[in-house]
């Protein structure tokens, strides 16, 4: 039987040292992969990080096709992953970072496991454009579904833009992600399960099933609406979401500066 604690330790070290690790050679079940993820996060909490919410993965066709995984997954977000809007991220912190356009929700109420889209909508405090920086700890950014789940679903960092009223309709709004002033990914929020609200419904269910239901104040990332783009030192990334505004950040240059 696989030593799940040891796998968590290995993935935690790979993240902290920004060094790729081979794909898991042990065959583990999806439940065991989530158990590794839970232990991995226990290690981060023990170092002082605080739980902030969850991120959904593979909620769009574009993401499933890019990574060859067709199952919806989720991961945990901590305050240590949050980057200030307009901020600078340090390229050296990552193994091979990528960025993808997302929608973020923040909750004003707890969300129990089974909710309708209307119930989920009623629990939203605000909605924002978001950029997720994913960074697989595995060699060549290649993984099976159990590999990626154990690796906290490639969670690495995220930027949240300005918050808008919960009544803002984000069922089908344009999303444009640019790198260094060039359009790289153009899509619609409808690519996320037909409506990002469905991702919030799924998040509530999956988090509750794991015994960690969504709480008031939690942030939920709905999942990438398009394929992700590789990041390089010095890149400036900007996401504009129709009706929600802009989220952006800069990657440090190789020498650690941002200009
Ligand atoms: C896994 C994480 C997927 C999303 O938004 O679909 C994800 C990966 O692509 O490395 O964050
Ligand atoms: Mg994502």
Q: What is the pLDDT of residues 143-171, one digit of tens each?
A: 999 999 999 999 999 999 999 999 999 99
Q: Which atom of ligand 1 is nearest to the CA of 66?
A: 9
Quick one: which ligand is closest to 153's CA?
1
The yes or no reply on domain 4-251 and CATH 3.90.850.10 is yes
Q: Which atom of ligand 1 is nearest to the CA of 58?
A: 6
Q: Which atom of ligand 1 is nearest to the CA of 55?
A: 11
Q: What is the pLDDT of residues 187-226, one digit of tens each?
A: 999 999 999 999 999 999 999 999 999 999 999 999 999 9
Residues 6+ apart with CB under 8 A from 210: 34, 38
Residue reference for tokens 């809007």: 85
Cβ(158) – ligand 1 distance below 6 Å: no
Nearest CA to 223 among 102, 124, 122? 102
58 pLDDT tier (thresholds 50, 70, 90): very high
Residues with CB under 5 A from ligand 2 (ion): 132, 224
Quick one: which ligand is closest to 66's CA?
1
Q: How far apart are CA 187 and CA 172, in angstroms?
A: 10
Cα→Cα distances 73→3, 14, 52, 81, 200, Å: 22, 21, 17, 18, 13
Q: Is the pTM of this model over 0.95?
A: yes
Q: How far apart are CA 235 and CA 238, in angstroms?
A: 10
Q: How many CB atoms lie within 10 A of CB 149?
A: 26
CA dihedral 99, 134, 77, 251 (to 10 degrees): -60
Q: What is the pLDDT of residues 90-110, one digit of tens each?
A: 999 999 999 999 999 999 999
Cβ(137) – ligand 1 distance below 6 Å: no
Ligand 2 centroid distance, CA of 1 (Å): 31
Q: How many CB atoms lie within 10 A of CB 49?
A: 16
CB 230 within 8 A of CB 96: yes
What string of H, E and C letters represents the secondary structure of 63-84? HHHHHCCCCCEEEEEEHHHEEC
């Amino acid at each position: 039987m696989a030593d799940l604690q040891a796998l968590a330790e290995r993935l935690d070290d790979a993240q902290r040292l920004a060094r790729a690790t081979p794909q898991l050679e042990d065959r583990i079940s999806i439940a065991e992969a989530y158990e590794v993820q839970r232990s991995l996060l226990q290690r981060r909490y023990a170092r002082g990080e605080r739980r902030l919410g969850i991120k959904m993965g593979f909620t769009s066709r574009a993401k499933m096709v890019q990574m060859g995984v067709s199952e919806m997954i989720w991961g945990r977000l901590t305050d240590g992953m949050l980057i200030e809007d307009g901020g600078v991220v340090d390229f050296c912190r990552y193994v091979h970072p990528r960025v993808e356009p997302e929608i973020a929700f923040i909750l004003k109420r707890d969300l129990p496991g089974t909710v309708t889209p209307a119930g989920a909508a009623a629990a939203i405090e605000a909605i924002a454009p978001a950029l997720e920086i994913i960074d697989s700890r595995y060699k060549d950014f290649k993984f099976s579904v159990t590999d990626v789940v154990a690796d906290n679903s490639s969670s690495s960092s995220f930027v949240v833009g300005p918050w808008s009223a919960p009544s803002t309709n984000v069922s089908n709004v344009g999303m444009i992600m640019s790198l260094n002033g060039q359009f790289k990914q153009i899509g619609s929020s409808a690519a996320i399960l037909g409506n990002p609200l469905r991702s919030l419904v799924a998040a509530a269910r999956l988090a509750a099933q794991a015994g960690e239901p969504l709480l008031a104040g939690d942030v939920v990332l709905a999942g990438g609406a398009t394929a992700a783009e590789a990041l390089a030192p010095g890149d400036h990334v900007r996401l504009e979401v129709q009706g929600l505004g802009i989220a952006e950040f800069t990657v440090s240059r190789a020498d650690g500066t941002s200009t």
